[in-house]
Amino acid sequence: MYRAHILVCGGTGCTSSGSPAIIDELNKELKAQGLEEEVKVVQTGCFGLCALGPIMIVYPEGAFYSRVELSDIPEIVSEHIVKGRIVERLLYSETVTEAGIKSLNETDFYKKQLRVALRNCGVINPENIDEYIGFGGYQALGKVLTEMTPQEVIDVIKESGLRGRGGGGFPTGLKWQFTANAESDQKYVACNADEGDPGAFMDRSVLEGDPHAVIEAMAIAGYAVGASQGYVYIRAEYPIAVQRLQIAIDQAREYGLLGKNIFEKGFDFDIEIRLGAGAFVCGEETALITSIEGNRGEPRPRPPFPAVKGLFGKPTLLNNVETYANITQIILNGPQWFANMGTEKSKGTKVFALGGKIKNTGLVEIPMGTTLREVIYDIGGGIPDGKKFKAAQTGGPSGGCIPADLIDIKIDYDNLLSIGSMMGSGGLIVMDEETCMVDIAKFFLEFTVEESCGKCTPCRVGTKRLLELLEKVTNGNGTLEDIDKMEALCHHIKSSSLCGLGQSAPNPVLSTLKYFRDEYVAHVVDKKCPAGVCKNLVQFKITDKCIGCTLCARNCPVNAISGEVKNMHTIDATKCIKCGVCMDKCKFKAIIKE
């Protein structure tokens, strides 16, 4: 029996900021003090506050230490563990109160969150099946196999109102019903873990922090639709998730929770991992299926839908990681419990990866219907350096932006669609006043051009031409006709592309055109970039505040600045590469960008 548990985040974020070394050091230090029998060090999945990593939490006190360094470990052990004196300087400042420390769940970051899909992330050791079982794991599978018929399972999922968390928002129960209804000697259950949006890491975190939740849900799905084999399609760029998922599958097999005759109820189910090479298009369901089959990952026209003709030509149920992560809780707590969370047409919660110009970058799970303002200001802690919020991008390269005047929108599937964005898989990128919206559209277009598989012309050629037009605008060579041309081209690409990648690729352009058309006009008419981002459209100038200290001239990497000591300097615009070093260095704010 251990008297204290030290939970250290082992998600990808904290791993890259050094948590494995911290775990080693903790174990070493505990051993040196003879405490290894009394205190247990547990590597968990993501806590969510990635901005403050490496993160650890010490129980029973629940002391939350952030930005822990190797050199802090001896102090944590000899003060906190040995003498019971919490190391206050390392506590997350929000948890420190005059009355002692307050629970993490009461801090602004966690208070408005509701963790369903992430319930075990940062709580259990994902590499230990016993801990998962200790927190109620595999109870849902047991209940389903012993008490429910496949149709009853499907009805529960339908009743809960759960919709696909991969982005489209298709009702999950219906998808299960279609697959169950299809007649075949063999069916498959597949999990889409090919998370490709730039800046999104929800599915990775679930697999890293709670892999058994996905395995259990896939087995339940297998029982419901009549499949005996499952595949998890995950990108090879997620090494920690792949490794933990494989460990979890092995442990589940060892316990007989995967394999033949589970719970002696005559139900067989097993899961295999298929690694993807990181092509964005493979997140599209038909391309993903083609890739699992061993072919080049290209989409094919639907119908037939995978529920009818999927993997190897057989009926296949394909859901996203986060969708599966909700299943066991719906089975255990009942569909009504789930349907009580969220809005009328979007039930439950949604996980978002917060990124960009926001204080608390990290992973959050909120009830549907939470406003964007709450996510950005209450949970996210607002925009750093007192800058102004300009827009947020949801849905990554397939989504659109939400401008500042729509910040009070309640986040759910239908609201986001109605303003020209989409839920997407959960990337949420925050932009401040220094972000150029044309440049952002260009960034996402560059991504889709790169990732277009090339099978259909509207996507392959259309996105390329669209990008060229955007480049023309950001280079200062655009015309008003180009803007109209872009808009028309966007609609052509949307209506004629084969798969979701092409159909949604113009969204970033369309939504920035809708809400920030004036910025496009400024680029083509005034030849100015209002945010000062597009290099061809900005000029650095030295004003008469200059006292001739020569600091800028000495730091200019291309010697574009000249002038005598104690006299005003000038910038040679033909030499200037617009790196902005002079502006950063100037102590008198004498250099301006216009």
Partner 1 sequence: MKSLAELAAIRDKMKAQVNIREENTENAIRVVVGMATCGIAAGARPVLNAFVEETAKRNLDNVMVTQTGCIGVCRLEPIVEITLPGEEKVTYVKMTPEKVAKVVADHIVNKKVVTEYTIGAAE
* Contacts with partner 1, residue ranges (CB under 8 A): 1-5, 7, 38, 59-62, 82-85, 103-105, 123-124, 130-131, 133-139, 142, 146, 255-257, 262-264
Give me the sign of the Cα torsion angle 371, 373, 376, 379. negative
Residue 196 or 222: the one with the smaller Cβ distance to partner 1 is 222
CB of 128 to partner 1, least distance (A): 9
Residues in CB range of 72: below 8 A, 6 or more apart: 65, 87, 90
* Alpha carbon distance 287, 299 (integer Å): 4
**The tokens of 409 are what?**
């929108």
Residue 80 or 350: the one with the smaller Cβ distance to partner 1 is 80
CB of 62 to partner 1, least distance (A): 5
Q: Say what the alpha-carbon torsion angle 221, 224, 229, 232 is, to the nearest 10 degrees.
A: -10
* Alpha carbon distance 143, 387 (integer Å): 52
Residue 219 or 372: the one with the smaller Cβ distance to partner 1 is 219
Backbone angles phi, psi at 100, to 5 degrees: 120, -150
Residue 105 or 457: the one with the smaller Cβ distance to partner 1 is 105
CB 557 within 8 A of CB 582: no
Question: Radius of gyration (Cα) for the chain, nearest Å?
Answer: 27
CB of 33 to partner 1, least distance (A): 11
Q: How many residues does the chain have?
A: 594
User: What angle is formed at CA 474 by the lines to CA 469 and CA 477, rounded to 5 degrees?
Assistant: 70
Q: Say what the alpha-carbon torsion angle 524, 530, 531, 533 is, to the nearest 10 degrees.
A: 40
Beta-bridge partner residues of 428: 354, 394
Residue 61 or 69: the one with the smaller Cβ distance to partner 1 is 61
CB of 215 to partner 1, least distance (A): 13
Omega within 30 of 0 (cis) for the link into 303: yes
Q: Which letter, b or e, does each residue of 463-485 get, where b requires 16 or more Cβ atoms within 10 Å of its Cβ?
A: beebbebbbbbbebebeeebbee
Residue 1 or 495: the one with the smaller Cβ distance to partner 1 is 1
Instruction: Name residue, tokens 């401040």.
Output: 432
CB of 503 to partner 1, least distance (A): 44
Instruction: Name residue, tokens 């589970």.
Output: 262
* Alpha carbon distance 463, 446 (integer Å): 9
Residue 123 or 224: the one with the smaller Cβ distance to partner 1 is 123
CB of 147 to partner 1, least distance (A): 10
CB of 133 to partner 1, least distance (A): 5
Instruction: Name residue, tokens 């003709």.
Output: 309
CB 284 within 8 A of CB 453: no
Which residue type is seen at 315? P
CB of 107 to partner 1, least distance (A): 12
CB of 406 to partner 1, least distance (A): 36
* Alpha carbon distance 463, 459 (integer Å): 6
Residue 69 or 130: the one with the smaller Cβ distance to partner 1 is 130
Residue 84 or 294: the one with the smaller Cβ distance to partner 1 is 84
